[in-house]
Amino acid sequence: SADELLNDDAIELVVVNTPSHLHYEHAKSALLKGKHILVEKPVTANTKQAKELFELADKQGKNILFYQNRRWDSDFVSIKEVIDSGKLGKPNEIHIRFDRYKPVISPKTFKENPTLEANGLSYDLGPHLLDQVISLFGRPVSYHKVAGSNRKYTQVDDYFMVQLSYPNDLNVTVTSSLLVVDAQPAFVLHGVEGSFIKHRADV
- Exposed e or buried b for every residue in 51-65, given b needs 16+ CB within 10 A? eebeeebeebebebe
Domain boundaries along the sequence of the chain: 2-67, 70-198
- The predicted structure's pLDDT at residue 122: 97
Cα–Cα distances (Å) from 46 to 49, 111, 119, 161, in that order, read 6, 17, 12, 19
Q: What is the DSSP string of 12-53?
A: -EEEE-S-GGGHHHHHHHHHHTT-EEEEESSS-SSHHHHHHH
* Secondary structure class of 188 (helix, strand, coil): strand
Answer for the pair 119, 111: CB distance below 8 angstroms, yes or no. Answer: yes
Amino acid at 44: T
pTM: 0.90
DSSP letter for 116, please: S
Answer for the pair 183, 99: CB distance below 8 angstroms, yes or no. Answer: yes
Determine the Cα–Cα distance for residues 166 and 137; give it in Å rounded to an integer. Answer: 8
Backbone angles phi, psi at 68, to 5 degrees: -100, 65
- Tens of pLDDT along the chain (203 residues) come to 888 999 999 999 999 999 999 999 999 999 999 999 999 999 999 999 999 999 999 999 999 999 899 999 999 999 999 999 999 999 999 999 999 999 999 888 888 999 999 999 999 999 999 999 999 999 999 999 999 999 999 999 999 999 999 999 999 999 999 999 998 999 999 999 999 999 987 55
Cα–Cα distances (Å) from 165 to 18, 61, 92, 121, 139, in that order, read 33, 36, 10, 22, 9
- Would you tell me which CATH number, out of the four given (3.90.1300.10, 3.90.380.10, 3.40.50.720, 3.30.1370.110), belongs to the domain 2-67? 3.40.50.720
Question: Domain 70-198 has what CATH class?
Answer: alpha beta
